Structure 1
Amino acid sequence: MLGGVRLLKLFKTRALVLRSRPLGERDRLLSLFTWEKGKLGAVAPGARRIKSKLAAGVDYFTCASFLLHRGKSLCTVTQLEVEFAFRKIRENIKDYTYGMYFCELVEKLVEEGEPHPAIFNLLLECWRCLDDSSADREILARYFELKLLSLLGYHPHFKDCLYCGDTKGPFFWSINSGGVFCERCRPREGAVFFISSGTHAMADRLLNLFPAAKILNLRATEEQKNELQGFTRQFLLQWTGTGPFKGLSFLEKLNAQEKDKKTNNAPQ
């Protein structure tokens, strides 16, 4: 009977490793984003040992098939089989930070135990793009933010004026309304910002882009990137009520340092 109860508590699931940290001298504590059961916590016994069969599947940016034993508060990893391990992401500090930022957003914004297959696919595809050296990291980050917000039900609106449906512009982005207005309809109070035609078109394209691999061909000007970053950050903070995001703050510092370096090295 006891063996039967244990079998009932075993389940197999496909999962992405959102977080992995040491637990004691031998184990690792994981935050997993599973296909069937959403976000859950798990212990990987002995995974810190070099010869552990679990060691290969408990690193960040890993997609694996897990056999888990359900406990009172945490699951225990009994077996796993790695599907994808995006090791290139771990080799570059900037790529690593972008990847961690994506994980942080999912950890903070997705409720525990709620399945979100579309968000699972979004994160996996964006890891895959990040593993590809041709992807523009800043555009990829904006794509991930906008798609995640939309899938969670926040639905930022760029297609046309929220009030009259005008599609020509110029447009103004309203933080409080979560969308754009034309010159005639724009609110005269609150946080309302002009959005250039190029940035408006890019935001609408990112929101409707599918699959994620198409982002490998997208490029934007520095002005468009700065505008996109500004209003997506404001939208995230105001509409989700969550933040600040450590990964985003660190990325902004890295990008600022990189741009300063390019400016200083430019021929006079």
Structure 2
Amino acid sequence: MYSLPKSPFILLCSILLTVRVVESCKGCVNLDEHNFNKIISRFKVVLVKFDMAYPYGEKHDVFTKFAEEISDNKNLIVGEVGVKDYGEKDNEELAQKYAIRSKEDFPALRLFVNGITTKSISFPLKEKWDVEMLRTFVKDNSDIYIGLPGCLEKMDRFAEEFIQAEDKNEKYKEIEKETHMLVEKEKETATTYLKYMKRILSDGINFIKQETERLKKLLKESKIQEKKKQDLSNRLNILKSFHVLNSKDEL
């Protein structure tokens, strides 16, 4: 009875596995020793995960979620390098170039800024892997904007200016005027930012902590409708835009 040769069958399985891996990380770019420099050099910021050839697990899921979240960001892409420690040991030298020496180091994150491939920024080994930490890692080591769901870039910057302003009342008036220039679909979101600014003016900085705790408590309620849950999550994300505090900001 005729059967497929062993090598083509193995090749077919490998192709199917690869397709499944690609699909499991929407928004990710597959990188290897042949295209690595070409792709890194074309983008302002690239976050790369070096991992086993067919990654899985909690950290991979976090990376995948982050990739989906920033998929519309034109200045940032995320990529995966699958490293094999068998056969032809694909991408092993590429991983070693960035101080990733064995599979015990997987997964490892490296951030590349301004298309420079000769150096990278390492995500701390002992740091917790969650979407917020990855977002913070990228923001702290580059100048690109990464907005949370429900947020507006312009209003996020206004929130930071407001918190840092010596005269918050005057800054609020300036920002309120600026919001009139927003397109109609952005004005509803801007209203939430302005509402929080008013509460900070009347109740002080401590309002941020109190409101954050209140929203988190509401989100834990099991009977909450999905639409309401999304609205609360967006409001919670907007509150995070006001968390750039230091001692001079106390009211």
Q: Considering the TM-score relative to the shorter chain, is it more than 0.5?
A: no
Q: From the CA coordinates, give the structure whose radius of gyration is larger.
A: 2
> Larger relative contact order (C-alpha < 8 A, sep ≥ 6)?
2
How high is the TM-score relative to the length of structure 1? Answer: 0.30
Query: In proportion to residue count, which structure has more strand?
Result: 1
Query: In proportion to residue count, which structure has more helix?
Result: 2
